[in-house]
Structure 1
């Protein structure tokens, strides 16, 4: 992995990172916003301590652990990645409540256009802020965006000590099973 200086990472602040999307995906994963390492590399979940890629594999979504630089391979598995807020920052707490609300509005429009079976927001706090749902918990949500079901997953950041890679993988696997089930019924109705 390329090593970046503090100055190079700071230069990536506010940079936009292209989505990895296509119409009709099984699952569109949605991060909070790109971190500086993601913005510097142009690859989602690129920070070495982020557990997204290992957990995606451990949960059975991918046959092997992909590297962030291999993110386009997700499309071949019916998976994609976007973010609630497009702007890169060093920490999610740099985002404003208005950015979350506007991000939620834009995300709903994107989902309505792309029509994935499931939108999986990685981070319950981001989901609560973006969709004004303060009581949301990890797991399937009652909310739908058109025909798209919504699932909230734990934040894979290495800073999220409440979840281990194994317990995260179990929650991701619940979503995978729901996304593959006949009739795609998995969740609350």
Structure 2
């Protein structure tokens, strides 16, 4: 199943990142370029690095200059994340380009890749909540609360995985069709962000 493979790749990416736990450690993608596995690993690596950048920037004692640099990295990471989602959708669009939608075929509320994006983030939540549930420097109440949250996250993973499988099956059968829109992020574009285009030369 697609999501079984995706979750396995996400877990591998997360585990390999945490061997170093360093936001500057270079990615070493083990999958062949041009494959869906390569895209999924790269996508999750971006998500994992950004997760930890978001942690770092929330340090109350962080130097403001360093915080600004990290905020710039997070902005770039958000754009990279969006680009990777579009690459995954492009891969799937090409894969199913010969499928003729049935009469009355419907458009889904989101593309498969944006649902896969949520699955990638969910894998990170599960990893970190599991670590919280195993901490030895906290009391039993903390661990119990985290285990309860972990159970919910695991249930969400099952449900989301099933929903993605059903969406892909519907696309393969022509019951639904894909339509993608380039994400027109405005805050990074100097021609569209008033703060940027309003700056004096």
TM-score per shorter chain, which class? 0.3 to 0.5
The TM-score with structure 1 as length reference comes to: 0.35
> Which structure has greater helix proportion?
2
The TM-score with structure 2 as length reference comes to: 0.34
Larger Rg: 2
